[in-house]
Amino acid sequence: MTALEIIMVGTAAAFTGYGLSCLYSEHMKKEFKRFGLNKWRILAGVFQLIGALGLVLGVFYSLLLGAIAALGLALLMLLGFITRLRIKDGILESAPALIFMFLNLYLSYCNFRML
């Protein structure tokens, strides 16, 4: 595996964890309520799981699918970062969304470039 593929699979693993957490974790239920986005928790989790699957399929099947999945996850993380700013969370709470946004933008760029 290339370094890019390893990063994509690792990112997919992280989003699988986050997605499952959104669906089943009491902590995430409380967080989405705190965000004022209670009704969007399930959809956010499903989008994270779909994005994770798209990244894995991007490694083993289709660069285009990987690029689109990474772009979708970047958008999701941008929205997460904006939400954190809106509720006045600190930098430590907001940083993961920003880092994953830039990481997924990079993954999308790399995959689109290889097409």
Per-residue confidence at 88, pLDDT binned at 50, 70, 90? Answer: very high
Cα–Cα distance for residue pair 84/113, rounded to 1 Å: 31
Query: Which residues, at least 6 apart from 16, have a Cβ–Cβ distance to it below 8 Å?
Result: 48, 49, 52
Closest CA to 11 of 115, 106, 112: 106
Confidence class for position 107, pLDDT limits 50, 70, 90: very high
- Band of the pLDDT at 95, cuts 50, 70, 90? very high
**Average pLDDT, integer, range 100-105:** 99
State residue 87's pLDDT score: 98
Rounded to the nearest angstrom, the gap between the alpha carbon of residue 51 and the centroid of all alpha carbons in its chain is: 7
Check residue 99 and give its pLDDT.
99
| Residue 54 Cα to chain centre, angstroms | 11
Q: What confidence tens digit (pLDDT) does each residue in 7-66 have? A: 999 999 999 999 999 999 999 999 999 999 999 999 999 999 999 999 999 999 999 999
Q: Name the residue ranges covered by the structural domains of the chain.
A: 3-114
Residue 43 C-alpha from the chain's centroid: 13
User: DSSP for 75-115?
Assistant: HHHHHHHHHHHHTT--HHHHHHHHHHHHHHHHHHHHHHHH-
Of 82, 83, 62, 72, the residue nearest 105 (C-alpha): 72
Confidence (pTM): 0.96
